[in-house]
Structures are given as C-alpha cells and as structure tokens.
Structure 1
Amino acid sequence: MTTQALPPPANAPAQEHLYSTDIPARLDRLPWTRFHTLLVMALGITWLLDGLEVTLAGSVSGALKDSPVLAMSNTDIGLAGATYIAGAVLGALFFGWLTDRLGRRKLFFITLFLYIGATAATAFSWNFASFLLFRFLTGAGIGGEYTAINSTIQEFTPARYRGWVDLTINGTFWLGAALGAVGAVILLDPTVAGGELGWRLCFGIGAVLGLLIMLMRLWVPESPRWLMIHNRPEEAERIVADIERHYRERGIEVPPLQAPPLRLRARDHTPLREVFHSLFVEHRRRALVGLTLLTAQAFFYNAIFFTYALVLTDFYGVPAAQVGWYVLPFALGNSCGPLLLGRLFDVVGRRIMISSTYLLSGVLLGVSGYLFEQQLIDVTQQTVAWMVIFFFASAAASSAYLTVAETFPLEIRALAIAVFYAFGTGLGGLIGPTLFGALIETGSRLNVFYGYLLGAALMVIAGTVQAIWGVAAERQPLELVARPLSQAEDPPSNL
C-alpha cells in the first residue's frame, strides 16, 4: 500500500516523472465512518446556502417590490434572479479552472469567503443597481463552491456510496430553502422587523451560516486524488495513511485491495487544449448528455422557483409576508426525493433512474400546468402539485451534477462541472427567471402555462437523451469510469 516512483520509459523526456499508486483503490475500499459523515457535513452544506439564497430571493420578493428604496417590479425580480445565476455561471467557470490548477482546499475557502462578503453586502443595498451587483457576486461565490465542493466529495467518497451521497447532499438545498422561508416569514412580520428592515436581515442569515461553515472546514484535507495527479504523491500518501490509521485505532476492519495500482505521469497542470479535446472530442457524447441534463433542470428549477412567490401573490392572492409558509411543503418534497430515491441510483443504476425521474418530472409539470391554466386547483392543491413534481425533479436535478462530476477525467473534474454548469445554467437558468417574470407580469394564466410546457418539454428531452446515451457509472471507481489524462499505458511484462 504505497506510492512508488518508477523509472521512465527509455524514450520519455528527461524531466518526466512516472510513479505507481494505489491511493484511489485505498479510498474506494474504505467502510463508511464518522470521517465521511463529517466531511460531507462540512462540504455539502454549500447546497444549503444556495437553497437559502434562492428561497430568500423568492420569499422576500413582495417586500422588494414594496421597498421605498428598491421598488422592484415583477420583471426586476426575474432580472435579479437571472443576475444571481449569471454570477454563478461565471464564478463556476473561473473558480473551476482555478480549482483544478490550485487545489480543492484553497478554492473552497476562497469561494466561501466571497459568498459571505457578498451576501452580507446585499443587506446594505442602497438602490437596484447595487442590489444586482451584490447578487451577482453572491452567485459567483456559490458557483465556485459547486465546482470545488462536488469534485472534493466525489474524490473522497467510496465508489459504492457515491450516487446516494451525492444526491443526498444536493437535497440539503431544500433545508436551506426551508430555513430561508421560515426566516423570511419571521423577519418580514411587522411585529418583528417588517418589510424594509426584514428583507435586509434575511440576507444576513447566509453570512452568519457562512462563518460557521468556515470553521467546520478547517480540518478538511486536500483531495489525495488531486495531489496524486499534480506531482505531490508524498502528501497524498500521508493523508490517506492518516485516514487509515484512524480505522486501525478504532478496530475497524478495512477490506483488501481489489483494483491494481495506477501508473501516472506527474504534471503540474493540464493545458486548456487538452481540457477541451477531452470534453468535446474524446467524450463528446458524455458532454451532450451532461449539457442536456443540466440545461433542462436549470430552466425547470430556476424558472419556477425564482418566481413561485409571484404566482402565489398575483394569481392566488397570498399575502407577500405569508409566502414563506408555502415553501415548507415544497421544500419537504424536494428534500425527500434525493434522500428516498438516492440509493436506487447505486442499485438500479444511473441510466434508468436518471431518465425516469426526468421524464416523470416533465409529464407531471405539464399536467399541473394545465390544471393551473384551467383554474381547476386552488393554492393548497397547487402547492401539493409542486411538492409531488419536485419530489422527482429534485432527484433528477441532483443526478445531473452527479453525472458531470463522475464521467470526466480526474484532472479536469472541477472544470468539467463548471463548464456544463455554466452552459446549462446559462441557457436554462438565465432565460428561465426572466421569461417567467415577464409571463407572470402579463397576468395571463395561459402565458404562464406556455412557460410550464416549455420546461416540461426540456425535461422529457433530457430524460430521453440520458436513456439512450447515459453512462452506467454506478459502483465503479472514478478512474475506471473516466481514464485519467495522466495515466500511463499498462507496463510492459518485464516491469
């Protein structure tokens, strides 16, 4: 169980370093323990922050419209949502590139610091332009978090737990949504803080949580897989050996190694030409699947969730200060979906589960949209409908991130997450909130129904693409799902 330098091939450049390592196999064989639980809590809580931010944007929309300082319209609310998404897109691309070059650990501190500062600054917005700027920077921090966090969790989690863990973590988005909803209801109450002060205090919730998360992450080590491919095998070996030592000290039996060692060529970074060749030439079919999945879920989620409060207030007459209560059952359905269905993604398989959750979500949205347009459901029934739809849609959306995180080579994992998140969210997430804000502004249920049909069609298309070309990555080591770019050819028989 060692990482060992190997003599380079006779025709290799003089500066090339070749070594053999069993670090991935050692990480994949580990039983689940307190180490993994604490790691997931410290890192996966990023999704909670995003849920908090997105929910706050919806829950305080009524207060933002009534604010004497901001005086936002429905279209402005949609634009603010799109601005947050734009920040997330650009932040994901920039910080994703840095994450693959500088390391997972550095970047999940940098991006969290940016998020804390930006969301705190949002509370002090003095006009609409400043509000948009701070929402953009908040989104940039969250987008960067996604790339650093998802890649780190993927690289530490044993292969047999990877699907369930990834989906469950993504489901914590809705714990943040519930927190944001309750916080908005309490703080917007005139007897507590009221509209103008209340919405400002709401954005302070994220800053406080971010500071607590910063402390939780201090003990998290760098990803041994990242160190391994960036010519720092000794550090990777020390981290893995320390993890294994805790197993021995607690008397936990560790299964024997099953996979052979990897032979890797050391590198400091991966050239962008090689990145794009891998993403769009060598793995172009996987790229199509990832782009389709993320685009569909981004439009589906962001269009509906950034503007759900407007539907409740404009079409059902729900008071703006009470909107948060309707988020709670909505958040319950979303959080239960990944938790209850997640294990099936490892047992039944990725291709079947991803495609079926996408298809079900699309069909159910189309049906509920028709009932909404025909005024056949009241506000309670509308909330129940959303709860059922997003039980499946939450698992579907989470599986999109799982797909792009595990089906591309280790050296470009964070950037791959960033690229497809950026493309998918840019296409679906930027257009969705703005389009739906404008459709709701017309006051026509038929126009809103057309928007729902568009979201439903995108989900059905994505489910079909996954069913045809999806990768069966369940219970497989990351290095087997996608061969590392730095992996050397199999050794000759005399080695």
Structure 2
Amino acid sequence: MLNIASRIDRLPSTPMLRKILFLCGIGWLFDAMDQGMVSGVMAAIGKDWALSTGQLGMLGSSAMLGMILGAALSGMAADKWGRRAVITVTLVIYGLASGLSGFSVNYPMLLVLRFLTGFGLGGELPAASTLVSEFSPTKIRGRNVIILESFWAWGWICAALVAYLLIPVYGWRIGFWVGAVPALFAAYLRRVVPESPRYLELLGKDKEADELICKMEKEAGVTNTLESSDTEEQINNVHVSFADLWSKKYIASTIVLWVIWFGLNFGYYGFVLWTPTLLIGKGFALVKSFEFTLIMCIAQLPGYASAAYLVEKIGRKKVLVVYLLGTALAAWLFGHAGTVNQVLIYGCLLYFFSLGAWGCTYAYTPEVYPTIARASGSGWAAAFGRIGAFIAPMIVPVIYSAYGKAAGYTNVFIMLTVVFVVVAIVVGVIGKETMGKSLEELTD
C-alpha cells in the first residue's frame, strides 16, 4: 500500500485542500441560506396564505423529512460510489427544488418541493464533511471541518438579509429564487473537486490516490520518503450495511453520535425556524423580528471561530460539552427575556454556542468510523438527527398554543434547555476524545 494516510497527515494546509474546502463551503452556504430562508418565509407565507400554526409547522418539517431520507441514502451512496459524485448530485437536486419552490401555486405543491429540497440538502452535508475530513491532516482536521461548517453562518446571514430587505418588499417567493441559481452554479464549480484519496486507496486505486497526494506534496514542498509497493489491492465491498453500524465494533460510536445529532437537531430547529414567529407573538413587528434574527445570525461567526480554535487545543469532547451547556443556559435566558436588549443579548448567546456545538459535531462525526464506514455512519447519524429536526417544528407550536403566548414562549425554551443538557451529559459520560489522532488510529 502507498501509506496514503501517513502522507496526508504530515502535510500542512495546501492550495488544493483550501480549494476543496472553499468549493464545499460555497455549497454549504447556499444550503444554509435555504434553511434560513424558511424561517423568514414561514412568518411571511403564514399571512399570505392564512396558514395555521400546524400547517406552518408541517412546512418546516417537510424539508426535514427529505433530509432524513437524503442523509441516510447519500451516506451509503458516498461509501459505494464516492464522496465527489454525491456532493455534486445532491447540490443540483437542492438547487432545482429550491428554485421551483418559488413558483408554488398552493400549499401541497410547496410541501413536496420542500421535501425534495431537504433531500438534496440532507444528502450533501454528511458527504461534504466526510470529504473534507479525509483530505485534512490530523493537526488541522477538526479546524477544517468547523471552517466548512462556518459557511453555514454566512448562509444564514444572507438569508436574514434577504428576509429583512427583500421579502417585505417583493414577497416570500423571492427568497427561494435568490439562492437557487448561485447554488446550481456552485454545483457546476464542484466538478473540479477530486475524490478522497483515502477512499481511492480503499478501492485499490492506488495510482490515482498517489497522484493526488503527490500534487499536494509538491504544493507544500514536501518530498515523499515513505515506503510504498507496486501491489494494488482491489476491494470490491467498500461499504457497510446499516446493521454493521450496530455491531460490537461500532455500536458505542453509533449510540453517542445518534444522541448528539438527535438532540442538537431537535433543540436547534426547535428555535431557529420559529424565532421570527415567536418574536412576533411577543409583540415585535415582522420587519423587526427579521432585524433581530439578522443580528443573532452574526453572532454565529465568533461561535464557529472560537470552536475551531478550541477543538484543536482542548479537544472535541470538552468543546462539545461546554458549548452544549452554553446553549442550554442561553436557551433558558432567551425564554425568560423580557426586554429588547435581553432578546438580543441572549439570542446572540444562543446562536453563538449552538453553532459552535454544530461545528464541533461535524468535525467529530467522521472521526469515529473507518473509511469503509465513514460516510454511511455519518449519513445515518445525520438521518436520525433529522428526525429531531422534523418533529421539533411541530411540537413547538403545540406547546406555544397550549400555554398561551407568554407562558408558551417560556415553556418552549425550557424544553429546549433540557434537551441540550441531556446531550451534554451523554457526550461527557460516553463520548471519546479524537483530537490529535489519525483517522486510521481512531478506527482500527
């Protein structure tokens, strides 16, 4: 074998790696822009089509249902047919469905298109994070994946700007159209993204893997002095089944990841999709609620930056626990906010900690499975997590309506606080540390 992993791990950041990170990140940005747009659309379309809170909840959940299926299938597809193909095809599906959503003539049509949009979005994220993780050297692997995730913040900021500046003037349809065309262009640019060398090595395509690493070594000014052989090992079965993820070898990692993904999805989508609507319920105007959301979204950037720094200094496990507990505290405070300043301060803290936790989760997830199971394991974890994202937008309006606007608002965030605390405990007790270890060392 060509010792591809060892050669990757001794490299610094190279132009090829930065290019891959940027092109994957651009697609991530438009995925996030779509999700953020739904938050603004829900508040606007509810008035335009006179939808009930239950219908609005289903609108938020329909994309999540697509994400569940997309994440599960794309993870297995990425392990079988490659990471590169999946991140391109899923972005095309997302872009087309998002653009068509703007032409919806009725509620059922929009639900179907939101499902397809979610399918593409859910399929892309696990495959993209797996690709970046496998291309990254050990010492900057976690940081790179969090940088990839940080494009999510820029997408939400773009969505908040569109919601604040365009939707009140041109209507909710403009939100879907603004992001669709650039997303399809990003998919076109991704044609130049190479396949993961670790995956190529697993397939027995040693020559292709070696050519990629040689190019990166040349960019870094590194000479390959590691031993290699001319023997190619063809591996026909390069994917694992769903049942394999629950075998003795993987079960502990699978349980921890599923708890993290479910809890973080439930808690995060429990508040982000409903923030403008909940703020309107507290007496703020639609445009004002969009303004608040935009300010809160900006707080995501230092959240990602701090997590990217700390994840390579104190470890994934500690960062996850700290940021999950920080999210829990911020959710509690936000639920009890009574003034404009409190809404903004606690809201910014909520976005700061929750997105830092998200970044660390994406960095941690691909590290606990071997190459043969990495995309499948990540995909199924994301798929199970999206179940939480699917049911949260439906549970929130039930609690909100049952207790009235004032008490309902507070009780929604008390529920979310409990969820974040439980996930932090599970990570602290069962989770394993992966900082500073090669992917092969972690998964042998």
TM-score (norm 2): 0.94
Name which of 273, 292, 310 aligns with 2:277: 310
Distance 1:212 1:23 in 2: 32
Distance 2:71 2:307 in 1: 28
- How much does 1:246 deviate? 3.2
Name which of 67, 70, 75 aligns with 1:96: 75
Name which of 269, 274, 299 aligns with 2:237: 269
1:232 aligns with 2:205: yes
Distance 1:283 1:359 in 2: 27
The answer on whether the counterparts of 1:99 and 1:107 sit within 8 Å (CA) in structure 2 is: yes
SS in structure 1 of the partner of residue 312 of structure 2: helix
The answer on whether the counterparts of 2:91 and 2:120 sit within 8 Å (CA) in structure 1 is: yes
Distance 1:454 1:57 in 2: 22
SS in structure 1 of the partner of residue 133 of structure 2: helix
Name which of 344, 350, 355 aligns with 2:321: 355
Per the alignment, residue 37 of structure 1 pairs with: 18
Q: Alignment RMSD, CA only?
A: 2.1
- CA shift in 2, pair 1:452/1:256, >3 Å: farther
Q: Percent identity?
A: 24
Per the alignment, residue 432 of structure 1 pairs with: 392
1:278-289 superposed matches below 5 A:
278-289=245-256
- How much does 1:74 deviate? 2.3
1:43-62 superposed matches below 5 A:
43-62=24-43
Q: How many residues align?
A: 442
Per the alignment, residue 125 of structure 1 pairs with: 104
1:219 aligns with 2:200: no
Per the alignment, residue 453 of structure 1 pairs with: 414
The answer on whether the counterparts of 2:263 and 2:420 sit within 8 Å (CA) in structure 1 is: yes
Per the alignment, residue 171 of structure 1 pairs with: 150
Name which of 405, 409, 419 aligns with 1:444: 405
Per-residue CA distance 1:46-101 (angstroms, 9 max, x = gap): 3322321121111122320122xx33222222111111111111011111111110
Distance 2:185 2:239 in 1: 36
Distance 2:240 2:134 in 1: 22
SS in structure 2 of the partner of residue 281 of structure 1: coil
SS in structure 1 of the partner of residue 194 of structure 2: coil
The answer on whether the counterparts of 2:140 and 2:312 sit within 8 Å (CA) in structure 1 is: yes
1:147-226 superposed matches below 5 A:
147-190=126-169, 193=170, 198-226=171-199
1:72 aligns with 2:61: no
TM-score (norm 1): 0.84
Distance 1:326 1:260 in 2: 57
- How much does 1:33 deviate? 2.8
Structure 1 segments unaligned to the other structure (5+ residues): 1-19, 484-495
Which sits farther off after the overlay, 413-422 or 358-367?
358-367
- How much does 1:214 deviate? 2.0
- How much does 1:243 deviate? 2.5
Per-residue CA distance 1:401-439 (angstroms, 9 max, x = gap): 22221101111111111111111221x211111111233
- How much does 1:279 deviate? 4.1
The answer on whether the counterparts of 1:151 and 1:414 sit within 8 Å (CA) in structure 2 is: yes
The answer on whether the counterparts of 1:294 and 1:421 sit within 8 Å (CA) in structure 2 is: yes
- How much does 1:288 deviate? 1.7
- CA shift in 2, pair 1:151/1:61, >3 Å: same
Amino acid at match of 1:295: F
- CA shift in 2, pair 1:264/1:465, >3 Å: farther
The answer on whether the counterparts of 1:119 and 1:203 sit within 8 Å (CA) in structure 2 is: yes
- CA shift in 2, pair 1:215/1:277, >3 Å: closer
Name which of 331, 344, 347 aligns with 2:310: 344
The answer on whether the counterparts of 1:49 and 1:206 sit within 8 Å (CA) in structure 2 is: yes
SS in structure 1 of the partner of residue 117 of structure 2: helix
Distance 1:31 1:221 in 2: 18
1:366 aligns with 2:339: no
The answer on whether the counterparts of 1:341 and 1:395 sit within 8 Å (CA) in structure 2 is: yes
Per the alignment, residue 330 of structure 1 pairs with: 296
Structure 2 segments unaligned to the other structure (5+ residues): none
Q: Which has the larger radius of gyration?
A: 1
- How much does 1:278 deviate? 4.1
Which sits farther off after the overlay, 136-145 or 438-447?
438-447
- How much does 1:364 deviate? 2.8
Distance 1:234 1:185 in 2: 51
